[in-house]
Amino acid sequence: MPLLRSPDVLTDIERLVTCESPSTDLAAVARSADVTAEVGTALLGCEPERIVLDGSTHLRWRLGDGPRRVLLLGHHDTVWPIGTLDRIPFSVREGVLRGPGCFDMKAGVVMIFHAVAALGSPDGVTVLITGDEEIGSPSSRGLIETEAREHRAVLVTEASADGGALKTERKGTSMYEVTLHGRAAHAGLEPERGVSATIEAAHQVLAVAALSDVDAGTTVTPTVLSAGTTTNTVPAQGRFMVDVRVRNLAEQQRVDEAMRALEPVLDGAKIEVTGGPNRAPLEAAMSAELFALASRLGGPLTSAAVGGASDGNFTAGVGVPTLDGLGAVGGGAHAESEHVLVAELAPRTELLSALVRELSA
């Protein structure tokens, strides 16, 4: 079959985009899985396994009977709530495709189907489309890691970086919740009898922020903060969240050890730290050979190191070579300006197909 017929691919992207699929709406994700399965089955010639974990629906196609060689990885859930289509409808105008989730990453899912279909009956190829990536892949992580270990390489069709660059590095992520325990007292009558969780939180927020290392590319960012119950009570409890991004495992471990070693400043205060590393970094060494192959097959390509994480972090974290950002070229992920450049769909899909052909040979 032709590699990519523009009306066909645009119709397929429209079908996926117009079936809204916010990650936390399990019924919507199930409906999206049905539509995604229909599109994939029509192109790949076989139905997927439907894998439901904690209510979230994932799809897996295992093509051929030979040893597993290449895993193509994507997700069909989005960050957009039901009803977004009323405000941002699917459209294609002047070479720009728009709609919630088009760039991140429903166009990339359709590209997988067309790229693999163009190869006829490839052997050793697996397509895995998950339904909970946008909330951290809580149910699919184990599935992704187990599947990746059976393959020689993983290709992730998350959207490209700026200018169509492939993503050869992704920062690893850690998430923490720091809870401060103090002692309540009346703020007017006897504040000296209290231990303020708010003041302890202030000390700890500064200590945590100081763990960042700009030169190493490590960011440690205190985010959501809350404390206290009423305006005239010394707060007995407070908490704040921490977002950590790192380029390598050594930095992830350093920050983790420092977070767990936090000590209270105020007499009588206590600290509780929960959470930890969520995704290992996708380091350049894990993508170097695949990027070199892509450059040989697709001509001059650019690469980028990005702060955002993807399921490619999981596959690289278990030691499988991984190349990310092979999906749509455009911009505006998670923003109302989200869009895909139609002219780039064909060459990117051709590159993806060539990579699968080489890796599955």
Sign of CA dihedral 303, 305, 310, 312: positive
CA distance 342 to 6: 9
Confirm whether 77 is a catalytic residue. Answer: yes
What does each C-alpha distance from 335 to 91, 136, 186, 338 come to in angstroms? 16, 18, 45, 6
- What's the rounded Cα separation, in Å, for the pair 243 and 295? 34
Q: Which of 132, 133, 311, 324 is catalytic?
A: 133
- CB-CB contact of 252 with 172 (8 Å): yes
Q: How far is CA 137 from CA 105, 132, 164, in A?
A: 15, 5, 25
Cα angle vertex 76, ends 246, 34, to 5°? 155
CA distances from 12 to 29, 36, 102, 193 (A): 17, 9, 11, 66
Choosing from 77, 134, 147, 251, which is the catalytic residue?
Answer: 77
* CA distances in angstroms from 54 to 19, 65, 131, 186, 295, listed in the order given: 21, 29, 11, 45, 39
Beta bridge partners of 213: 218
Active site residue 169: no
Number of other residues whose CB lies within 10 A of the CB of residue 205: 17
> Which residues are tagged catalytic?
77, 133
